[in-house]
Amino acid sequence: MGKDTLEQYIFISVIIPVYNSADSLHHCIDSILDQSYKDFELLLINDGSADRSLEIMNSFAEKDQRVKVIDKIKNSGVSDTRNTGTSHAKGRIICFIDSDDWVEKNYLQVFVDNYTSPDTLLLQNIIRGKPRNLHYKTYQIQTDFTELLVRNNLLYFGGPVAKFFEREIIMKNTIIFNKEVSYGEDLMFFLEYLKHIKAIKIIDASLYHYEYTESSLSRSEHTFESLFKLHTAIIDFIFPHQQQSGKKLKKYVYQVDWDIIESSIDQGIIGKSLCRKEAYKNLNRVTSSVNINHFTYTDFYRKALFLLLKTRQFRLLLKLKRNLNK
């Protein structure tokens, strides 16, 4: 079967989690229903919105049979909402779009035109002010792992949007968004998905428009637990590649991980009214999870943080962090 024949059989489930998005919802939905590629269903998942969002969603469903509305009634967060959408999806492919954002008319068609196999994740650029600095090619995860992550700064491109996910891979491997995590759950989902594919093709296209709004679903409180789980997921992800990864990859990964570790201390401990016992308990967890690579592949300041953690000089560490954060 030729490529042109194969394309018409790609049925897509577009999933949009919605929470109080009345101001942006018309534009978002219109941009999807106006796609040049027509073989899709649009799943609108209402996460207990208190504004006119549900009314708007129902009005679109009445006009277009491709639109299906799922009303969760009670708000439970973006992770649970996306999981609900995935569980109801009928498509071979799943595309996540946020309700604040919009896509250009050929967004889905470009994905379909570049589709090669279920083992290759397709990824487009995002317009957020200006497109990110991505390098457009197909990367084999087994052989191009370092280039894929480092050259494209991929750990900061882990959100679910602008990607072409295989529903079977998600369902077969029980890949879900962790609803117990308020920050980084999208990157954790992405890293887990990468374990089950062979390649990523970064397409030379920027057709997804990211709109920053105060009500966006991605804006959440950054708890220590969420940040710590994200830190753990990154270390677990990189561990199988430790032997074949060189200095460049380790320096990149541990730099990103240090950003998360520091955030867990700044926001989850210093930024919260924790008693000393609870704060020290969390710092002990951080101490147990960092390894020699966190010392080797970082700067002088973070080497000092590492030594303070490992020698359990928590009082001095917190004093240092508080002074620097003033």
**Strands 120-128 and 130-131, how do they pair?**
antiparallel
pTM, rounded to two decimals: 0.92
- Tell me: do 176 and 123 sit in the same domain: yes
- Tell me: do 247 and 182 sit in the same domain: no
Q: What is the DSSP string of 60-104?
A: HHHH-TTEEEEE--S---HHHHHHHHHHH--SSEEEE--TT-EE-
- State the pLDDT at residue 134: 94
- Tell me: do 77 and 196 sit in the same domain: yes
Amino acid at 194: L
Cα–Cα dist 312/326, whole Å: 23
Both tokens of residue 238? 């990189």
Tens place of pLDDT for every residue, the chain, 326 residues? Answer: 344 444 447 999 999 999 999 999 999 999 999 999 999 999 999 999 999 999 999 999 999 999 999 999 899 999 999 999 999 999 999 999 999 999 999 999 999 999 999 999 999 999 987 778 899 999 999 999 999 999 999 999 999 999 999 999 999 999 999 998 888 999 999 999 999 999 999 999 999 999 876 544 444 457 899 999 999 999 999 877 666 568 899 999 999 999 999 999 998 999 888 899 999 999 999 999 999 999 999 999 999 999 999 999 999 999 999 888 77
Cα–Cα dist 204/152, whole Å: 13
CATH code of the domain containing 90: 3.90.550.10
- State the pLDDT at residue 213: 65
Both tokens of residue 234? 């990154």
Cα–Cα dist 149/134, whole Å: 10
Domain encompassing residue 66:
3-209
What is the domain count for the chain?
Answer: 2
- Tell me: do 93 and 141 sit in the same domain: yes
Domain assignment present for residue 56? The answer is: yes
Cα–Cα dist 164/115, whole Å: 9
